[in-house]
Structure 1
Amino acid sequence: MHNLRKVYAVDDDKVVALARINLEIPRGQICCIFGESGSGKSTLLNQMAGMEKPTKGSVRIGRDNISTMSERELAVFRQRHIGFVFQSYNLLPHLTAVENVAMPLMFSGVGKAEREAKASKMLKRVGLGKRLKHFPSQMSGGQQQRVGIARAFIAHPEVVFADEPTGNLDSKTKVEVMTMMRTFARHYRQTLVLVTHDEHMAAYADRVVTLLDGHIVSDTANRSSDFATADSGHPQ
């Protein structure tokens, strides 16, 4: 992110949600964007994922400037390179767990039998081997979030964005979910960007970037992390 600025018009006023953000996240790093409600962290995630256009500045993922892409180009780019984990799960209610997880592979042109076989394997990895044919309404919140994690990681995207992924979960399930995401990100050497206001969840990151009123007020490494810094300086 280079000189990133986002301003919203509210009635006759202008609200500065992000003020000249400069931030580089190396490939394979687990980075937490931390802040209280209204700090600008969700706006920043939307900018990083290309969900909103910046007022000024740019966002690059690798060599691609996503800030200049059309909506069609962004949709294709996200399908190929980005995964999402949401607080509200965002599962399609009329699809089974297998079908929800298999969806990213459908966009990649993988045949039905192959993608459902891979989805079944992924669901077993997150402990849902007995829930393959269950619909979201037949699963608990923690189980739905495991489906969401499986869906986000199944196509091995270079970057996964997780927006308050533990916000609706109990403390035990929070730990399980964060452990799963960190394990997958490490295994596939993916960049994981976690947005949260929960200090306990921030502890799972290699690095914590704290926002306040649209400004970065601190950027610290988690010294207990096992992130290999050899690739720092080479952004995703």
Structure 2
Amino acid sequence: MNQPDPRSRPIIEVRDVRKEYPIGDETVVALKRINLQVFRGEICCIFGTSGSGKSTLLNQLAGMEKPTRGEVRIGGVPISRLDENQLASFRQKHLGFVFQSYNLLPNLTATENVAMPLLFRGVPRREREEAARALLKRVGLSHRLDHFPRQMSGGQQQRAGIARAFIARPDVVFADEPTGNLDSKTTVEIMEMICTFARNYHQTIILVTHDPEMASYADRIVTLIDGEIVSNQRNQKENPRHET
């Protein structure tokens, strides 16, 4: 008996989302009635230039801001209706983040930084640090397990950031310009690493970027201009880079 394709089930649903910001006596409309579905196991790129609204949309999807109107659901949960405590709990259980600026805690080692999401889930210290060390070795940092962020290069810090984002196997990982501070060679390595983890763990990736090269790794590219979706289409490459 054939099993249903898990990608036929959306993990993220955005319904008529509008976001306004009051500035003095005026109101700036950052997002205009956004409707979007992102499917389980999909790598979806939110693509646009500076000021297009992509960062605002990311904030809505991750529950960092509440929409002025409309609703965002992740796994059927209306996150735009949750209070701050409920949101914090939801993020710890279901979401991961890879940041452009790495966001590693400076006073923690690579192992301790990567183990942090498991701490929030109540995993015992020995178990979570063993898992963190194993994942750091997978991302090529076996020689940096006990190093602090200041002792690592940008590429090494981002590898640690990726390990931290994926260690708890979240349903959705948000990658906000994850290679913006890296050279071209390291960019390729980081993107291939993110895509490999996503495929192995069947996780959904929301990749936010202005870079067409990064967008080429996605299964689907959603393009924003002036707070509106102007294009939403599958990657037309016959052999996407992350599958070669």
Task: State the TM-score, normalized to the length of structure 2.
Answer: 0.92
Per-residue deviation, residues 119-161 of structure 1 (Å, max 9, x unmatched): 0000000000000000000000000000000000000000000
Q: Percent identity?
A: 68
In 1, distance between residues paired with 2:99 and 2:177? 7
Residue number in structure 2 paired with 1:40: 53
In 2, distance between residues paired with 1:226 and 1:157? 27
Contact 1:18 1:215 in 2 (8 A): yes
1:114 aligns with 2:127: yes
Contact 1:206 1:225 in 2 (8 A): no
In 2, distance between residues paired with 1:164 and 1:2? 25
In 2, distance between residues paired with 1:153 and 1:142? 17
Alignment length, in residue pairs?
227
Q: Secondary structure at the match of 1:24?
A: strand
Residue number in structure 2 paired with 1:232: none
Moved over 6 A (4+): none
For structure 1, the 5+ residue unaligned runs are 228-236
Q: 1:14 aligns with which of 19, 24, 27?
A: 27
Residue number in structure 1 paired with 2:155: 142
CA RMSD of aligned residues (A): 1.0
* Superposed displacement of residue 224, structure 1: 3.0
* Superposed displacement of residue 18, structure 1: 0.3
Per-residue deviation, residues 25-50 of structure 1 (Å, max 9, x unmatched): 01110000000000000000000000
Q: Secondary structure at the match of 2:92?
A: helix
* Superposed displacement of residue 6, structure 1: 0.2
Q: 2:118 aligns with which of 98, 105, 130?
A: 105
Per-residue deviation, residues 151-194 of structure 1 (Å, max 9, x unmatched): 00000000000000010000000000000000000100000000
Q: Secondary structure at the match of 1:85?
A: strand
* Superposed displacement of residue 225, structure 1: 6.4
The letter for the 2-side match of 1:172 is K
Contact 1:205 1:225 in 2 (8 A): no
Q: Secondary structure at the match of 2:105?
A: coil
For structure 2, the 5+ residue unaligned runs are 1-13
Q: Secondary structure at the match of 2:28?
A: strand
Residue number in structure 1 paired with 2:98: 85
Task: State the TM-score, normalized to the length of structure 1.
Answer: 0.95
In 1, distance between residues paired with 2:136 and 2:238? 27
The letter for the 1-side match of 2:107 is H
1:31 aligns with 2:44: yes
